[in-house]
Amino acid sequence: MVRSRRLVVAAIISLAPLCLPSRTDAQQFALWTHAAPGSEHWTQRERTMQGAQYGTVVFNVVTPTLTAYIPDPSTATGAAVIIAPGGSFRGVTIGLEGHNVARWFQERGIAAFVLKYRVLDYHAPGNAALSIDDAGRFAIADGKEALNVVRRRAAEWRIDPHRVGFLGFSAGGMIASSVLLQPDSSARPDFGVMVYGAPFGALPSIPRHLPPALLVWADDDPIARPAMTRLRDAMRSSGSAVGVRVYDCGGHGFGMRRQGTASDRWMDDLYSWLKRQGMTQRRVAASSFKRIAARM
C-alpha cells in the first residue's frame, strides 16, 4: 500500500448568496458551514507554490473551498461539473488541473466548480507512511460534500441539479471515483470522468447501474495505468457502461498542457463524450433563468 502511495507521490459553507457573475469571473467559497469535520484541530498553515512542475500547487489545506466559474446566461447549458485536481494528496495542483480546466468548461456553457480539498501536512510525523486510502479520506469527504453543496444551491447558479458531474485528475480521480461508487445512488454525480486517476489503494465494490463514466489515461503512464485498467475491468464486469480513452503517449499529469503527444486531444474527446450524454445542449429556457433570478 505504501509503495503504491510512493508511486503516486512521485508523479506529482458557508456559501453566501451569490450574485451571478460574468463569464470571466470566479468566486471562491468555503465548502463547509463550520470547520471541516475531522480536521477541526489542524494547525498547519496553507501555502501556495508557483511555477512547480505541475503549475500552481497548494499545500497544507485546512479549509476546503469551491471556486465557481459560471458561464454567461446566453451560452449556459444548465449542466455543471465539479473538478478535483491531483497532487498525490500532498498538495492540490490547482492551476493546471483546476482553474484552467474550469475556464475551458465555462467557455463552453458548462458551470465548473474547482474543489480545493484538504491535504495532510506531509511533514508531520507518520503522515508520509500513510496508505493512500488513509491519506485521501479527508479529500474524499470534501468531494462528497462538494456535490451536495452544488446540488443544494443549484438555482443560484442557474444549473440543473440532475446534470452535475464530477471530474478528477490523478488523486482527484480517486476522489471522483469514490463519489461515483457510493452505495447511495442519490448521492452519486450524474456523470463521472476519471483522468489518469482511480482507486490507487483498495478497490471499492462496484455498484450496478452507475451513471455514465469516462476513463482517460495514456498508455505510457506507469503510475495510473494499473489502477485505471483495474477500475475499467471491474466496472465492465458489473455491467456498468464505461467509456475509455487511452492514448499511446502523454505520460502522467498532462492536464491542459500541449505536449505534441496523442493525449493533446483528450479535451476534444471529452467534449464529444459529454455531447453524447446531453451535457452540452441547453436544457433550461431563458425564461426559467429569469424566474430563478427573481426568487433570489
- Average pLDDT of 280-292? 57
Predicted confidence at residue 194, as pLDDT, reads 98
CB 247 within 8 A of CB 261: yes
pLDDT band at 24 (very low <50, low <70, confident <90, very high): low
pLDDT band at 19 (very low <50, low <70, confident <90, very high): very low
d(CA 279, CA 173): 20
pLDDT band at 180 (very low <50, low <70, confident <90, very high): very high
% of the chain residues with pLDDT over 70: 88
Predicted confidence at residue 51, as pLDDT, reads 78
At 93-133, the pLDDT tens digits run: 999 999 999 999 999 999 999 999 999 998 899 998 999 99
**Mean pLDDT of the residues in the chain:** 89
Indicate the range of 21-35, 185-199, 211-225, 264-278 predicted with least confidence.
Answer: 21-35
Annotate 176-206 with b (16+ C-beta within 10 A) or e (fewer): bbbbbbbeeeeebbbbbbbbbbbbbbeebeb
pTM: 0.88
Predicted confidence at residue 54, as pLDDT, reads 75
Indicate the range of 22-31, 42-51, 88-97 predicted with least confidence.
Answer: 22-31
At 246-275, the pLDDT tens digits run: 999 999 999 999 999 999 999 999 999 999
Q: Which of 227, 194, 198, 199 is nearest to 213 (CA)?
A: 194
